[in-house]
C-alpha cells in the first residue's frame, strides 16, 4: 500500500465513522489485502488440521470491526491493529471452546498426537497480559501481536505500523521484558 492509500484510509475511516455509505466499501477494498495477509500469518502458526480457515478469520475480524464503526479510528495503523486483535481474540475464543478431553479408542492411542496444553495455556496467559499491555502501552501491544502471534519480521511490523524500524525494535524489546517479568515473576 502506497502513501496515498495510507492517507486515503485515514480519510475513509473518518467518513465511515460519520456514516458515509460509500466509505465502508472503499475502506475494506483497500484494507482487505492486509487483513488476508494477517489471517494467513495467524493460521500459519496454528496446528495442522485447524478447523478455521484464513477466510473465516478475515470474516470474523470484519464483523467485529464493522460493529465498532463509531470507534475513534486514528489511522490505518490503528485500524489494522484492532483487526489483528479481533483475529487473535477469535482464535483464543476458539481455543477456549475446544473440549478439554477427547474420547479415544484403545486402538487409536498409538496414533493420537498428545495435545500441547502448555502451549495453549501460555497463549491464554499472554492474551490476558496483552489486555493490560494494551491499556498501558498500546503501541507495544500492537508490535507484540504482529511479531508474536503473526510472526512478522521487524521490517514487516514497521511497515504495517508505519513506524521507523528502530522504534519497532526498541518497543519490541521493552514489551518482551514487560511480558517476561509478568509471566515469570523475574524482573
d(CA 87, CA 59): 9
pTM over 0.85: no
| pLDDT tens for each residue of the chain, 187 residues long | 544 565 788 888 888 888 888 888 888 888 888 888 888 877 776 767 677 778 888 888 888 887 776 777 777 777 877 888 888 888 877 777 765 545 444 454 444 444 556 666 777 777 788 889 988 998 998 898 888 777 778 998 888 788 899 999 999 999 999 988 998 888 7
Domain boundaries, the chain: 3-184
End-to-end CA distance of the chain: 40
Amino acid at each position: 500500500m502506497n502513501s496515498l492509500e495510507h492517507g486515503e484510509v485515514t480519510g475513509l475511516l473518518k467518513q465511515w465513522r460519520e456514516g458515509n455509505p460509500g466509505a465502508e466499501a472503499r475502506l475494506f477494498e483497500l484494507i482487505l489485502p492486509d487483513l488476508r495477509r494477517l489471517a494467513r500469518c495467524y493460521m500459519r502458526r496454528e496446528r495442522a488440521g485447524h478447523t478455521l480457515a484464513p477466510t473465516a478469520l478475515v470474516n470474523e475480524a470484519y464483523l467485529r470491526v464493522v460493529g465498532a464503526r463509531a470507534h475513534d479510528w486514528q489511522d490505518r495503523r490503528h485500524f489494522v491493529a484492532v483487526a489483528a486483535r479481533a483475529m487473535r481474540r477469535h482464535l483464543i475464543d476458539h481455543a477456549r471452546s475446544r473440549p478439554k478431553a477427547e474420547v479415544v479408542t484403545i486402538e487409536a492411542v498409538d496414533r493420537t498426537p498428545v495435545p500441547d496444553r502448555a502451549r495453549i495455556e501460555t497463549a491464554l496467559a499472554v492474551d490476558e497480559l496483552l489486555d493490560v499491555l494494551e491499556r498501558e502501552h498500546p503501541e507495544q501491544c500492537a508490535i507484540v501481536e504482529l511479531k508474536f502471534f503473526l510472526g512478522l519480521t521487524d521490517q514487516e511490523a514497521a511497515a504495517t505500523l508505519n513506524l521507523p524500524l528502530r522504534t519497532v525494535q526498541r518497543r519490541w524489546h521493552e514489551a518482551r521484558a514487560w511480558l517476561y517479568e509478568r509471566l515469570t515473576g523475574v524482573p
